[in-house]
Chains A and B, each alone.
Chain A
Amino acid sequence: MAILMNVPAILMITGIIAYPLAYALYLSFHKVGIGELRTGVMPFYGWNNFIHLFQDEVFWVSVKNTLKFSAIVVIGETLLGVGIALIIEKSRGRLSTFTRVIMLLPWAVPPIVNALLWSFIFSAEYGYLNAVLLGLGFVDTFVMWLGDPKLAIYSVAFAYIWRTTPFSVLLIHAAMQGIPRDLYEAGNVDGANAYQSFRYIMLPLITPTILIVMILRTTWAFQVFDEIFGMTGGGPGNSTWVASYYSYRYAFQPPLDVGLGAASAFVLALMIGVLAFLYIRFLRRVEVE
Chain B
Amino acid sequence: MGEHQTLLWKIAIWIANILAILFLLLPIVAIFFGAVQTEKDLLTDVRNPLPKGFTLKNFEVILTGKGAESGVAHYLPPNVGVLPRAFLNSTVVSLSVTFLCLTFASMSAYAISRLRQRWTKGFLYVSLATRLVPLMTLMVPLYVSLRGFHLLNSLTGIILTMVGFLLPYAIWILTGFFLTLPRDLEDAARIDGCSRTQAFLRIIIPLSAPGIASCGVIMFILSWNELVIPLIISTRPEVMTIPVLLASLCSDKFLFFTLSMAICLIALTPSVLLALLLRKYVVQGLTSGALKG
Give the B-binding residues of A (Cβ under 8 A): 1-2, 5-6, 8-10, 12-13, 15-21, 23-24, 26-27, 32, 37, 40, 80, 83-84, 87-88, 90-91, 95-96, 98-99, 101-113, 115-121, 123, 125-126, 128, 130-132, 134-135, 162, 166-167, 170-171, 174, 184, 188, 194, 197, 209, 212-213, 216, 219, 222-223, 225-226, 229-231, 233, 243-244, 247-248, 251-252, 258, 261-262, 265-266, 268-269, 272-273, 275-276, 279-280, 283-284, 287
Contact = CB atoms under 8 A, between A and B. Distances in A.
B291 A188 contact: no
B181 interface: no
A26 to B, nearest CB: 8
A32 to B, nearest CB: 7
Given A5-B111, A112-B243, A247-B136, A120 B257 contact: yes
Interface in B154-168: 160-161, 163-165, 167-168
B143 interface: yes
A276 B47 contact: no
B80 interface: no
Contacts of B271: 108-110
6 contacts: A95-B21, A98-B17, A128-B30, A131-B49, A252-B143, A279-B132
- Name the prevailing secondary structure of the B interface residues: helix
Contacts of B14: 91, 95
Interface in B140-185: 140-145, 147-148, 160-161, 163-165, 167-168, 171
Nearest to A102: B24
Given A18-B130, A20-B138, A226-B227, A131 B48 contact: yes
B108 A6 contact: yes
A212 B33 CA distance: 38
Nearest to A246: B136
Contacts of B133: 17, 21, 269, 272
B128 interface: yes
A244 to B, nearest CB: 4
A179 to B, nearest CB: 12
Interface in B46-86: 46-49
Contact of B1 (A2, A17, A184): A184
Contact of A23 (B105, B112, B141, B290): B141
A72 B34 CA distance: 29
B30 A272 contact: no
A268 B136 contact: yes
A260 B24 CA distance: 40
B19 to A, nearest CB: 8
A285 to B, nearest CB: 12
6 closest A-B pairs by beta carbon, nearest first, are A16-B164, A108-B275, A23-B141, A110-B225, A276-B132, A9-B108
A197 B34 CA distance: 45
Interface stretch (B186-194, B206-214, B281-289): B281-289
Contacts of A225: 135-136, 227-228
A13 B140 contact: no
Given A102-B24, A108-B271, A174-B287, 15 more contacts: A6-B111, A6-B123, A8-B107, A9-B104, A9-B171, A101-B279, A109-B271, A132-B49, A162-B27, A171-B287, A223-B135, A248-B136, A258-B144, A265-B137, A269-B133
Contacts of B283: 104, 170
Nearest to A119: B250
B7 to A, nearest CB: 14
- Mostly helix, strand, loop or mixed at chain A's interface? helix
Interface residues of B, number: 101
Interface in B104-118: 104-105, 107-108, 110-112, 115, 117
A116 B108 contact: no
A44 to B, nearest CB: 16
B84 to A, nearest CB: 18
A13 B144 contact: no
Contacts of A8: 103-104, 107-108
Contacts of B42: 126
Contacts of A23: 141, 144-145
Contact of B250 (A184, A233, A262, A272): A233
Given A104-B279, A126-B43, A269-B133, A113 B140 contact: no
Contacts of B20: 83-84, 87-88, 99
B145 A20 contact: yes
Residue of B123, B224, B228, B293 with most chain A CB atoms under a 10 A cut-off: B228
B105 A9 contact: yes
Contact of A116 (B115, B163, B260): B260
B88 to A, nearest CB: 17
Contact of A87 (B17, B48, B107): B17
B264 interface: yes
A110 B227 contact: yes
Contact of B134 (A9, A194, A258, A268): A268
B264 A194 contact: no
Contacts of A223: 134-136
Contacts of B25: 102, 105
Given A6-B108, A21-B133, A269-B134, A16 B161 contact: yes
